[in-house]
Amino acid sequence: MPIWVVGILMGVQSVLQLIFDVPAGYILDRYGYRRLLKITTVCFMFSALALTFSFNTYSYVLSLFLSVFGWLFFGPGINAYALSHAPKESAGRFLSLRDIFTSVGTVIATIIFPFIILAKPQLMGILVFLSLFISLIFIILSPKDHIKATAEKKVQTQHYFIRRTALLRVIRAIDNLNPASSTLALLRTAASIFYATVWFIVPLIIAHQAQSGILGVGLGIFDLTIVVLGFTLGRLADLMDKRLLVFLGLLIFAVGGMSLGFNFGWIFILIGMLATIGNEMADVSLWTWIHSLNKEQDGEGIISGVINLCDDLGWSIGTIYAGFAFYYFGASWAILISAAPILLTWIIYHLLIKDSVNFLDNIKLYPTKPHFFRYKK
């Protein structure tokens, strides 16, 4: 198939997840997290098995379709199951541990990815199937559900639950937490468009370039940077002026993102690290800012649902865009253009901040924020 058709198919996959996310949440709450996780994992296993047959249009579309059903329940199901078993006072640590394992796994996967993508597609299907089979065994051996995660109002990470919130409450929450909330929503949308483009284009380059091992490490640098520097950036957000950190973070992210596609060697890794630092600096500072502005108990939860919606929307737009842009403009210009919304976010933030006079500086508290996945989740 033409590259732009592949982009549309992947974008449609994200759109379907966006549409059916809330109904999937109802099903999770009604029929149980562990039960749905078992069904989901089996769907993923069939999705992987589809790649072990002759790799063609039919097997590819079948794999995409089955993975849509899987992703609808897999991520939210894991979150809800973990929260249902976690003591209320340590729920944040449970999710932090999940994020650490996820990031480490992503780094490992991107390192071996170039070797897999240069082999037959069947090898990728076999490895994914085996990893999911091991996961299924652990799920079967896990304890049964005993309470709903929403029973103790641990909904900050359950975007499918928060999206049921009435529209007027959402608008009021965003307005009360401006300009931080609007900037964060714009940043997450722009960042997702950028990362969707990178994750669509770079594997294509890896498949046709001799120095693909470097690019494999380059894809992992986004998560590796967070593993190494995440805590330091969080402390920085506690100690410095959040407005300044957001301003600098957005600028660094925009410049780094727009420069990323013009060198696919070792410079790619350095610029990728710089862009991630800017992204996380702005993201953490905005969440700390929102925490200081929050007057309503559920304000942060509603914003969490909004930005998860922005994440999904950005991935839908970015994947469809990447297929067309790569086909018509090439890799470098496609990545540069995908980072333009980040620069636009920086400009809008600069305009918004001029009207912001009530800001609580020097809040020595770093709240738990939803982990931002820099790959398709």
- Contact by Cβ (8 Å): 1, 57: yes
Q: For residue 91, is pLDDT > 70?
A: no
pTM over 0.85: no
pLDDT tens digits for range 238-253: 666 778 888 889 999 9
Higher pLDDT, 302 or 284: 284
Q: Which pLDDT score is estimated for 130?
A: 92
Query: Peptide bond before 76: cis, by omega within 30 degrees of 0?
Result: no
pLDDT at 300 exceeding the cut of 60: no
- The token pair at 188 is 């997450």
23 versus 297: the higher-pLDDT residue is 23
**pLDDT tens digit string along 162-194?**
555 555 666 666 666 778 788 888 999 999 999
- pLDDT tier at 136, thresholds 50, 70, 90: very high
> 286 or 118, which is more confident?
286
**Quick one: tokens of 349?**
């933030």
- Ranges 86-90, 138-142, 283-287, most confident: 138-142
**What pLDDT does residue 158 have?**
54
pLDDT at 255 over 90: yes
HEC assignment per residue over the chain: CCHHHHHHHHHHHHHHHHHHHHHHHHHHHHHCHHHHHHHHHHHHHHHHHHCCCCCCHHHHHHHHHHHHHHHHHHHHHHHHHHHHHCCHHHHHHHHHHHHHHHHHHHHHHHHHHHHHHCCCHHHHHHHHHHHHHHHHHHHHHCCCCCCCHHHHCCCCCCHHHHCCCCHHHHHHHHHHCCCHHHHHHHHHHHHHHHHHHHHHHHHHHHCCCCCHHHHHHHHHHHHHHHHHHHHHHHHHHHHCCHHHHHHHHHHHHHHHHHHHHHCCCHHHHHHHHHHHHHHHHHHHHHHHHHHHHCCCCCHHHHHHHHHHHHHHHHHHHHHHHHHHHHHHHCHHHHHHHHCHHHHHHHHHHHHHHCCCCCCCCCCCCCCCCCCCCCCCC
Q: Is the pLDDT of residue 210 over 80?
A: no
Q: Is the pLDDT of residue 321 over 90?
A: yes
pLDDT band at 95 (very low <50, low <70, confident <90, very high): low
pLDDT at 184: 86
Residue 114 has pLDDT above 90, yes or no: no
